[in-house]
Amino acid sequence: MALVEIRDVHKKFGRVDVLKGVSLDVEEGEIVTIIGRSGSGKSTLLRCINALESVDAGEIRVEGQKVYAGMPDLKKFRQHVGIVFQAFNLFPHLKVERNITLAPLLTGRIDKAKARALALDVLTRVGLADKIDAWPEQLSGGQQQRVAIARCLAMAPHLMLFDEVTSALDPELVGEVLKVMEAMAKQGMTMILVTHEMGFARNVADRIVFMHQGRVWEQGPPAKLFANPETSELASFIASAK
Amino acid sequence: MNFLPLWRYQNQLIDGAIVTLELTVIAALFGLLIGIAGAVALKGRIKSLRWLVRGYIELFRNTPSLIQIFIVFFVLPTFGLKLPAFEAASVALSLYFGAYSVEIIRSGLDSIPNSQVEAGHCLGLSGWQVFRHIVLPPALRNAYPAVTSQFVLLLLGTSLASQVAADELFHVAGFIESRTYRSFEVYAVICVVYFAMAMSFKALFALVGAAAFRWPRRR
Amino acid sequence: MRSFSLIDLVSLFAALRWTVVLVVLALAFGAPLALGLAMGRISRFAGLRWAMAGIIQVVQSVPLLGLLFFFYFGMPVFLGIHVPALVAVTVAYTLYTAAFLGEIWRGGLEAVKLAQWEAGSCLGLSLWQQFRHIIAPQALRLSLPPTVGFLVQLIKGTSLASILGFVELARAGQVVSAATFQPLLTYALVAAIYFALCLPLTLWSRSLEARLDGSR
């Protein structure tokens, strides 16, 4: 059984068909990168996996459990699925440590005595142990995004979703975030990423999924997909992304 | 100009100032409670309740506070509800402050982007936890300047309660004036007392604000 | 005791005239003063900035009722001559208007980015030209909603003149109420008239505000 099973998912916003029958499996430990033009439905798909949006038809299962906005144990489910956003979404009124420990403490995952050690541990993994007492606003965009990743890691997720996490960053800050994600990939984390970073997709992903007009247009290992795209849409997308 | 005759009335002045403070604090507390309830109602699903709150806000913001005090004091008795001056002024000023508080609290809550709420939910927090730990603190900070300046306006506005003979500072002024015939001196002193109270509150609010909201502002 | 009649209604509306006169006088004298205060608040001279801030702070920290009484009783003391009540009251409302509008307009002026002044000076405009043609129009647009909002405060504030014996709307209400023993009807009418004056301004202010938010 795949960790994530997406079966014929449809989603409309008003009259616009965003997802028109998407099916996709993601195995445990797999790194899947979703690419495609803006409006192709890739971010929406990601948000559906985390039940931030509910699907109109079809179904999504994560670890065998059906996912939808009103599902029982939604909170428990989300504790196991981390999502990192384009805009970081750190909490401005909490220091880095509290940003990280808030959810583990409130959900009873850890007790107070272990909180700081946990924050220090995940911050070390993203290379920011020295920023544990900083306010988010005192950090650069790249550092904020790495704290956001650490915040997810503190929940010990089974699956991580990344929604264009480097798009809002200055070019010189992209590298440090990608490096952290690469390290996570090497440690065997299951990851689904939406990204415009073709180099990263090529080097780190096990599989590339090309979405077009609300469908999975083409998928496969990066080497094959980038070298020999089967469809003209993917070929022109690769050409334009270079 | 001669301020000396006023000296022996200092106890009355202090008593008046205390009543003014009581009136201000009571109206502020009840007004804020109204504000919170109103803001919740405005965000709620019951359409008729939303309209009721909107009507209340417009009614109380677009008529003079003085008339509102008169209505509570002079008109409610015709319905068999006769309130003493202080209580009548408290009710009227609470309703007046409440009408402003609803909007202040609502816009404070609205100032928190939905992405913050989403981020909280994605960490597995409950609706209440998200509100309490993620929405409320920054919303309070954003509403704080408006609430505190409205509070100072309320403090000054309690002077209107003198017109229904509530024993607050401005009414005491009238009493002293009637005894000493030193009209100008009395009101000059009264203005200074209000000024001192207003400035003290402003200083206090600045200190409390600096202590409570320490995180850096968005650049 | 007599019943509420047409005459009472007429006397209420006639009293509106004083409400209008007080508002117009306060704006006529207060607005230019407010502009001076606002410009002083953003001046290069620290002393001037502090002085203007001080004036605004003092006026905003005293009840409007206190201002009215202070000048009503104080002007004869200062000037040593009899001063008509209207003059004293106008002085108080003028200061009140100047302080609040001055602070609102300062906010508007400061909200215009520094780069706009620089852009103006790069085009070779004088300081006054920069203010007049580049900064002021933008600041006006930004501060129009709160300015209209203050107008509502001012209209409501004229009700306090009743306490000094001006037969404006609020005072006329008291008189009629006392004569007819119909406080409910009278005060409801008075409130309704104020409401009818203020609500359109409030709604206008809000729509201006919404338009500003939309264009940002």
Mean pLDDT of C89-106: 96
Cβ proximity of A150 and A125 under 8 Å: yes
Work out the pLDDT band at C177, boundaries 50, 70, 90: confident
Q: Per-residue pLDDT tens for A146-170?
A: 999 999 999 999 999 999 999 989 9
Mean pLDDT of C63-91: 90
Upper half-sphere CA count for residue C188 (Cβ side, 13 Å) = 7
Q: In this complex, do B123 and A155 lie within 8 Å of one another by their Cβ atoms?
A: yes
User: What per-residue confidence (pLDDT) applies to B2?
Assistant: 79
User: What per-residue confidence (pLDDT) applies to A124?
Assistant: 95
The DSSP symbol for B135 reads I
- d(CA A33, CA A39) in angstroms, rounded, equals 16
Sign of CA dihedral B91, B97, B100, B104: negative
User: What per-residue confidence (pLDDT) applies to C143?
Assistant: 93
CATH number of the domain that C12 lies in? Answer: 1.10.3720.10
Helix/strand/coil (H/E/C) assignment for every residue in chain C: CCCCCHHHHHHHHHHHHHHHHHHHHHHHHHHHHHHHHHHHHCCCCHHHHHHHHHHHHHHHCCCHHHHHHHHHHHHHHHHCCCCCHHHHHHHHHHHHHHHHHHHHHHHHHHHCCHHHHHHHHHCCCCHHHHHHHHHHHHHHHHHHHHHHHHHHHHHHHHHHHHHHCCCCHHHHHHHHHHHHCCHHHHHHHHHHHHHHHHHHHHHHHHHHHHHHHHHC
Mean pLDDT of C198-205: 94
Range of the domain at C81: 6-215
Complex confidence, ipTM: 0.90
Share of chain B above pLDDT 90, in %: 82
φ, ψ for residue A194 (rounded to 5)?
-105, 125
User: At A76, which helix (H) or strand (E)?
Assistant: helix A74-80
Whether residue B159 lies within 8 A of chain C, CB to CB, comes out as yes
The DSSP symbol for B111 reads T
Q: In this complex, do B70 and C187 lie within 8 Å of one another by their Cβ atoms?
A: yes
Mean pLDDT of B198-209: 97
- d(CA B67, CA B63) in angstroms, rounded, equals 7
- d(CA A135, CA A93) in angstroms, rounded, equals 8
Mean pLDDT of A93-105: 95
- d(CA A145, CA A64) in angstroms, rounded, equals 30
Q: In this complex, do A83 and B121 lie within 8 Å of one another by their Cβ atoms?
A: no
pLDDT at A234 over 80: yes
Across chain A, what does the average pLDDT equal?
A: 92
Q: Which two tokens stand for residue A11?
A: 């989603």
B11 C-beta neighbours (distance < 10 Å), count: 8
Q: Which two tokens stand for residue C73?
A: 């009783």
Work out the pLDDT band at C125, boundaries 50, 70, 90: confident
Helix, strand, coil abundance in chain A, percent, nearest 5: 40, 25, 35
Q: Per-residue pLDDT tens for B1-24?
A: 778 778 888 899 999 999 999 999
φ, ψ for residue C138 (rounded to 5)?
-70, -40
pLDDT at C5 over 80: no
Cβ proximity of A184 and A30 under 8 Å: no
User: What per-residue confidence (pLDDT) applies to C216?
Assistant: 56
Facing residue for A106 by CB, picked from B116, B118, B125: B125
C2 C-beta neighbours (distance < 10 Å), count: 10
Share of chain A above pLDDT 70, in %: 100
Upper half-sphere CA count for residue C23 (Cβ side, 13 Å) = 21
- d(CA A186, CA A63) in angstroms, rounded, equals 21
Choose between A157 and C3: higher pLDDT. Answer: A157
Work out the pLDDT band at A242, boundaries 50, 70, 90: low
Work out the pLDDT band at B36, boundaries 50, 70, 90: very high
Whether residue B142 lies within 8 A of chain A, CB to CB, comes out as no
Disruptive mutation site among C69, C78, C181, C213 for chain B (greatest number of B CBs within 10 Å): C69
Least confident span in A24-28, B104-108, B146-150, C114-118:
C114-118
Facing residue for C70 by CB, picked from B59, B191, B199: B191
Q: Which of B139, B144, B211, B159 is nearest to B21 (CA)?
A: B159
Work out the pLDDT band at A144, boundaries 50, 70, 90: very high
Q: What angle do CA B45, B48, B49 make, to 5 degrees?
A: 70
Q: Is residue C1 part of a domain?
A: no
User: What per-residue confidence (pLDDT) applies to C215?
Assistant: 66
Facing residue for A103 by CB, picked from B115, B124, B213: B124
**CB pairs < 8 Å spanning A and B:** 68
Q: Which residues of B130-169 are buried (b: 16+ CB within 10 A; e: fewer)?
A: bbebbbebbbbbbbbebbbebbbbbbbbbbbbbbbebbbb
Q: Is residue C104 part of a domain?
A: yes
User: What per-residue confidence (pLDDT) applies to C181?
Assistant: 77
Give me the residue spans of the domains in chain A. Answer: 4-241
Fold of A4-241: Rossmann fold (3.40.50)
- d(CA A72, CA A49) in angstroms, rounded, equals 15
Cβ proximity of B171 and B165 under 8 Å: yes
User: What per-residue confidence (pLDDT) applies to B219?
Assistant: 63
Give me the residue spans of the domains in chain B. Answer: 18-169
Q: Is residue C59 part of a domain?
A: yes
Most confident of A60-74, C52-66, C201-215: C52-66
Specify the CATH architecture of the domain B18-169.
Orthogonal Bundle (1.10)
Whether residue A93 lies within 8 A of chain B, CB to CB, comes out as yes
Whether residue C119 lies within 8 A of chain B, CB to CB, comes out as no
What's this model's pTM, rounded to 2 decimal places? 0.88
Work out the pLDDT band at C162, boundaries 50, 70, 90: confident
Q: Which residues of A22-39 are buried (b: 16+ CB within 10 A; e: fewer)?
A: bebebeeebbbbbbbbee
Work out the pLDDT band at C1, boundaries 50, 70, 90: low
